[in-house]
Each structure stands twice: as structure tokens, then as C-alpha cells.
Structure 1
Amino acid sequence: MDDDTHESQAVSIGAPAPDAAVAGESSLMPALLLGTYTPKIDAKGRVALPAKFRSQLGAGCVLARGQERCVYLLPIPEFRRIAAQVQRTSLSDKRARNYLRVFLSGAVDEVPDKQGRVMVPQMLRDYAGLTGDIVVIGVGTRAEVWDRPTWETYLNEQEDDYSDMADDILPLGDL
């Protein structure tokens, strides 16, 4: 399999924000990172990003610890938005301080090389258990890098609850 093998296409969706007409704004929502890809991670820790993701990441991205032992791959504006949101939380909030320490101490900025590869630092590879077989998934405003067997197990475990989750998360009638 080559580095850009994928199971579904990533698409860039830029559309007026649903509330833009109400607010009188003409801004576009950020492009969405979508799809599932199965590149390899080489011995040096380099991963070739899906071609459609490369243009959406602009000049670079930030890699950081994600939840459920994956690595977040965030466009720089999205990373800054998340960091600012957490930093607005009171310094007296111990959970916010803990989250910020873990999130920012594991974050690194990367600029893809000429082949569209980014280096996943050893600490993040260890955190997520990344070896040769990985999965890169688009999750809207970020991508996630998973160890392939871990992702497959996670996805299988979530499948049974997928319909039930939709009932709790989406407003009635949206799907």
C-alpha cells in the first residue's frame, strides 16, 4: 500500500456558517478534514499526510496528545483556538490546569516536507502506540492518527452504540 492509500475521500467543505445570515456575516466555516486513510509510519516516525489534507493545513500543523491514545493533527488556527479556549478557564480550576499541561507539553508544530510528510515525535508515537500500521482519520476540524489495531478495536466497540449516540448528540430530525 502506498502512503496515500485511503478507504474514503477527504473533502474540503467550505460553506456559509448556518448562523451567518442571522449574524450578517459572510465568513466561511473552516474546511473539514474527512475520511479514513491507511498510510505507513516509517522508521524515522514520518507519516505522509493524505493529499487532500495537505492543502487544508496550509503552512503547517500541530501534533498533540489526543484522547483515547491517538495523536491529534490540528491546523494551526484550530490549535490556537483550542489552546485559547482552555487558557480562558480560570487558573484556579485544577482540571483546566492539568488538561493544559498535558495538552501543551505534548504539542509540537510541524511543517510538511516536500513529500507531504510530517514527523511524529517519539513521545507521541509512544503515547499512541504508533508502529508501522496506522490510520489517519478526518474528524472535522482536526485529524487523528491511530495505531491501526487500536482504531479497529475502538471502532468495533463504538459501532453498537452509534445509533444510540446519535439520539443523544444530534437534535431530533437532523439525520
Structure 2
Amino acid sequence: MLMGTYTPRLDDKGRLFLPAKFRDQLSEGLVVTRGQERCLTVWPRPAFEQLAQQAQQAPVTDRAVRDYTRLLFAGASDDQPDKQGRLSIPPMLREYASLTRDVIVIGVVNRLEIWDAARWQEYSDAREQAFSDLGEEVFPRD
């Protein structure tokens, strides 16, 4: 399971050190792509392959499916961390998420998200009250 919040920095070449805690889970490869709310999503390769299988089974006659899969897969970049545990983020994806030097990496169960630090702070501050109010609606009790 991927969880926690980390604050690595992007270097001048657009690389960041993946938190050591996540490196084993990503050592066999990963896929970086656009996420919702202008963050980036880092999928362990097996999780992304599962998502790709779901996309293949979805009806291409559904406009929402076409729109989502186009943006998700067009922006996808498969990679493998280097020996130092660094991940290179392509310029197009850095631009999409407005990433500069200060970033936040969060673990979200089966994926990581990479956020511009200021954007993450705005997002989390704006949703704090809704988070407090939603507990039982998001995960209903059996």
C-alpha cells in the first residue's frame, strides 16, 4: 500500500528522488501520467496495466470513456527509476501540473500523486471541511 506525504525537490533536469519507502514497489517499472486536479499520477506498472485492461473493456461509443482514455494515455510515460531512485518527469507533464522545484508526493493506496507544493496546500485546505464531513458517505458501512 502506498501512503504518506513527502517533500522531494525537482532538480534542474526535471528529476525527483522517489521516497525510499516507495522504491521497491516501483522498481519493476512505473507509468507517470496526468491526474485529476492538475497533479501527476505515478502508477506501479501492474496497477497501470490493470487500468489499461479496464479501459479496453469500456465502450468506445461512450464519449466520457473516449475523453478520459485519450487524456490519460496520451500523457502517459513509462519509466523506471534510475539507480539513485530518481524519476525523470517529461516536460509536458511538468507543465501540465505546473511543477517547479517544490513538490509534494503523496501515497494514495495503489498510486502516487505528485503535486506542486502550493497547489497541494490550496487543495487540501479547501477540502478539509468536506473531508471531515464525508467519512460515512465515502465508505458506507456494511
Match of residue 9 from structure 1: none
1:139 and 2:137 matched = no
Unmatched tracts of structure 1, length 5 or more: 1-31
On the 8 A contact 2:99/2:115 being kept in 1, the answer is: yes
Q: 1:102 aligns with which of 29, 54, 71?
A: 71
On the 8 A contact 1:56/1:75 being kept in 2, the answer is: yes
> What does 1:154-165 correspond to in 2, within 5 Å?
154-165=123-134
Q: Deviations over 1:92-142 (max 9, x none)?
A: 111101111110000001111111001000000000000000000000000
CA distance in 2, matches of 1:162, 1:98: 28
Match of residue 40 from structure 1: 9
Unmatched tracts of structure 2, length 5 or more: none
* TM score, norm. by length of structure 2: 0.96
Q: 2:97 aligns with which of 128, 131, 134?
A: 128
CA distance in 1, matches of 2:92, 2:134: 32
CA distance in 2, matches of 1:119, 1:170: 35
CA distance in 2, matches of 1:150, 1:43: 20
Match of residue 82 from structure 2: 113
Which structure has the greater CA radius of gyration?
A: 1
CA distance in 2, matches of 1:115, 1:77: 22
Which of structure 1's runs of 4+ aligned residues deviate more than 2 A?
none
Match of residue 88 from structure 1: 57
Alpha-carbon shift at residue 172 of structure 1 (Å): 3.5
Query: What's the C-alpha RMSD, in Å, of the aligned pairs?
Result: 1.1
1:160 counterpart SS class: helix
Alpha-carbon shift at residue 170 of structure 1 (Å): 1.6
Match of residue 26 from structure 1: none
Larger RCO (CA within 8 A; separation ≥ 6)? 2
* TM score, norm. by length of structure 1: 0.79
1:34 counterpart SS class: strand
CA distance in 2, matches of 1:126, 1:43: 14
Which structure has greater strand proportion? 2
Aligned length: 142
CA distance in 2, matches of 1:95, 1:87: 14
